[in-house]
């Protein structure tokens, strides 16, 4: 069974930083586009950042310049470094792996940014 397990969520003050990790099992992420999505209460799930198998990254405009997505294929892990956090970043963050044929989701990690 494919598993994507997020870690690193928690409570942080506005302006602070957190680093989320997504560890994959069964699949080798080197052949997948990896993404971080988030969903806040009452809002749709949105793409925060993605990184292709060629290490090309894309970011939502709301996080560009503050968040950095990276991947370590040897560790089979994807990261999301979140700096200068704002209260509006509060959400459940989900890890995603996709290759155009299949897709997988993690269970999510809660990030709460206090004001």
- For 75, the 3-state DSSP assignment is helix
pLDDT digit string (tens) for 29-85? 999 999 999 999 999 999 999 999 999 999 999 999 999 999 999 999 999 999 999
pLDDT digit string (tens) for 16-44? 999 999 999 999 999 999 999 999 999 99
Distance between CA atoms of residues 65 and 75, nearest Å:
25
Distance between CA atoms of residues 18 and 14, nearest Å:
11
End-to-end CA distance of the chain: 39
Angle 78-84-87 from CA coordinates, rounded to 5°: 100
């Amino acid at each position: 069974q494919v598993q994507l397990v997020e870690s690193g969520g928690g409570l942080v003050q506005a302006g602070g930083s957190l680093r989320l990790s997504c560890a994959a099992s069964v699949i080798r992420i080197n052949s997948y586009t990896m993404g971080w999505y988030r969903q806040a209460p009452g809002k749709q799930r949105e793409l925060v950042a993605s990184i292709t198998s060629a290490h090309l990254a894309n970011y939502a405009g709301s996080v560009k310049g503050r968040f950095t997505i990276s991947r370590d294929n040897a560790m089979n892990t994807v990261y999301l470094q979140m700096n200068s956090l704002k209260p509006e970043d509060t959400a459940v963050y989900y890890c995603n792996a996709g290759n155009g044929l299949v897709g997988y989701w993690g269970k999510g990690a809660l990030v709460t940014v206090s004001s």
